[in-house]
Amino acid sequence: MNKGIRNTVASLAVIVVGIFALQFWLYSRDQVLNDDQLKSMNAVMFASPRNIQPFQLQDQDGQTFVANDFRGHWSIINFGYTNCPDICPTNMMLLGQVARQLEEQQKPMPQVYMVTVDPARDTPELLKGYVSYFNPEFKALSGDESVIASLARQLNNLFSRAPGGDDDVYFVDHSDNMAILNPEGQFVGIFRPPHKLSDLTTVLADLMAR
């Protein structure tokens, strides 16, 4: 085989290897979900990120937590309270299952925050025990009710104390939207109810791969 033929064969071999490598990458990489796919899984991503106004709350360890603390990682914000009889524990259990599934798939999980809508009863100590039951990595936020209400409105959530009850025994009506924050600490989308394990896992895996 002369030198020209050898060079041609070598070049063809490089091209073939490159084609196979590209096909493997296209096949194996996580596909980015489009808007219609996201909506079918009750996820809505905004056209433009929305900044969160400055605030100050407390985390489950009693430490000051401000808006900038959302930076550096993807976040899921779930509003609820420890005395909630149904929606809140269901959502937290679901997010715990999502975390386990993503861990099994060797994929990262966003930081989960439960923001209480009942700060009068939900102390940092109580919240710490509550969220850690579902996953030791989950965090909780509490503080002044007016500050929480402002943050909730910014993240497409509302809450109010239900009629009836007394100072110690009462319920809180609240939205069931889970807010999605990007690593810049910006509000970029929501999960709308009903929340499903497969949908949450698929969408979060997609977002974390972007």
The residue segments making up the domain with residue 1 are 1-30
107 with 5, same domain? no
Please say whether the beta carbons of 139 and 69 come within 8 A: no
CATH number of residue 166's parent domain: 3.40.30.10
- Bridge pairing between strands 111-116 and 75-80: parallel
pLDDT 10s digits, 119-163? 999 999 999 999 999 999 999 999 999 999 999 999 999 999 999
17 with 51, same domain? no
What span, in angstroms and rounded, lies between the C-alpha atoms of 112 and 97?
12
The predicted model gives 30-57 an average pLDDT of 93
Contacts of 76 (CB under 8 A, 6+ apart): 95, 110, 111, 112, 113, 178, 179, 180, 181, 191, 204
127 with 187, same domain? yes
141 with 175, same domain? yes
Total domains in the fold of the chain: 2
70 with 1, same domain? no
Structure tokens at 196: 């499903």
Binding site feature residues = 84, 88, 174
Q: What is the mean pLDDT of the chain?
A: 89
Does 20 score more than 80 pLDDT?
A: no
Q: Which of 47, 92, 52, 44 is nearest to 71 (CA)?
A: 52
pLDDT 10s digits, 61-105? 999 999 999 999 999 999 999 999 999 999 999 999 999 999 999
- Bridge pairing between strands 64-66 and 56-59: antiparallel
152 with 94, same domain? yes
What pLDDT band is residue 164 in, cutting at 50, 70 and 90? confident
Binding site feature residues for Cu cation = 84, 88, 174
